Amino acid sequence: MEKTALIYEGKAKKVWSTPDETLCIVDYKDDATAFNGLKKGTIKGKGAINNRVSNFMMRLLAEQGVPTHFVEELSDRETLVKKVEIVPLEVIIRNISAGSFAKNYGVKEGIVFEEPTIEFSYKNDDLGDPLINSYHAIALGLATKEEIEQIKAMAFKTNDVMKAFFKGLGIDLVDFKLEFGKTADGSIVLADEISPDTCRFWDSETHEKLDKDRFRRDLGNVEGAYEEMLRRIMGE
Ligand code: TMP
Ligand code: ASP
């Protein structure tokens, strides 16, 4: 399948149309941003790592009954996916306090929750992706009530699968962000990516951060953390 036209360029990926109007090609970049694009940089090799990591996770989730956009890995950085209309919500699941949760509620990072939490942000760069509740999302017409219920169930199922998988690799899955899309026939599938850009991964023993927080917080060894996650996931 070849690329026909560039239909979207985001901070970390490009999306191309293909001769099949139901399919797109995602092309992962090494570019990294944080804080709504205020901080910019490059993480060498990130595009190829995120492509492989995300496809691995999407395959695992599909096997466990979570429908995804994944079709086929085409190259190092390119993947064929189902064309979807992205639901403009960032769906965030948390197992351990960190990041904006710790900041917003004035608690330390590292509190292990009894139950995972879920929250939504309205995907809108001009507004800075504000937190939004499900009633607001429905009122704004971002999704229907039924779609929200389906998204919540799929997000918690994704957490169950991922948490158990990463525990086996000696990694605590702290939190992560998901995006969902609607296919031409109206069904909701997991879309976007699952990678060290979109998850917080802490080594279970040393609590070392193995994700994009190394870039956001200038912790050094950013490339090393991405490579370590790829190595653990692929067993290489
Ligand atoms: P937060 O603690 O900054 O709200 O982030 C929660 C999780 O969501 C964390 O794993 C990083 C991920 N995330 C993204 O993937 N994209 C974003 O734009 C933001 C703000 C967070
Ligand atoms: N990618 C997001 C941005 O550029 C934020 C993040 O991942 O921290 O704003």
pLDDT over 80 at 219, yes or no: yes
Looking at every residue in the chain, the average pLDDT score rounds to: 97
pLDDT in tens, 81-122: 999 999 999 999 999 999 999 999 999 999 999 999 999 999
Tell me if 229 is assigned to some domain. no
Domain boundary among 82, 116, 140: 82
Question: What CATH number is associated with residue 43?
Answer: 3.30.200.20
Q: How far apart are the C-alpha atoms of 232 and 236, rounded to whole Å?
A: 7
**Residue 14 lies in domain:** 6-82
CA dihedral in degrees (160, 163, 169, 172; nearest 10)? -170
pTM greater than the 0.95 cutoff: yes
Shared domain for 70 and 91, answered yes or no, is no
Q: Can you spell out the DSSP letters for 163-189?
A: HHHHHTTTEEEEEEEEEEEE-TTS-EE
Shared domain for 101 and 57, answered yes or no, is no
Shared domain for 73 and 135, answered yes or no, is no
Tell me if 234 is assigned to some domain. no
Tell me if 230 is assigned to some domain. no
Shared domain for 74 and 89, answered yes or no, is no
Residue 29 C-alpha to ligand 2 middle, in angstroms? Answer: 14
pLDDT in tens, 124-151: 999 999 999 999 999 999 999 999 999 9
Query: What pLDDT, on a 0 to 100 scale, did the predictor assign at position 200?
Result: 99
Q: Which two tokens stand for residue 139?
A: 């009122």
Give yes or no for residue 92 CB within 6 A of ligand 1.
Answer: yes
Give yes or no for residue 37 CB within 6 A of ligand 2.
Answer: yes
Q: Are strands 23-28 and 31-34 parallel, antiparallel or unpaired?
A: unpaired
Q: Which two tokens stand for residue 155?
A: 């997000």
Mutate which of 123, 177, 200 for ligand 1 pocket (most atoms within 8 A of beta carbon) = 177
Shared domain for 117 and 44, answered yes or no, is no
Strand order in the sheet with 6-9: 6-9, 13-17, 23-28, 78-82, 70-73
Question: What CATH number is associated with residue 140?
Answer: 3.30.470.20
Query: What pLDDT, on a 0 to 100 scale, did the predictor assign at position 202?
Result: 98
- Say how many domains are in the chain: 2
Query: What pLDDT, on a 0 to 100 scale, did the predictor assign at position 236?
Result: 73
Shared domain for 90 and 52, answered yes or no, is no
pLDDT over 90 at 1, yes or no: no
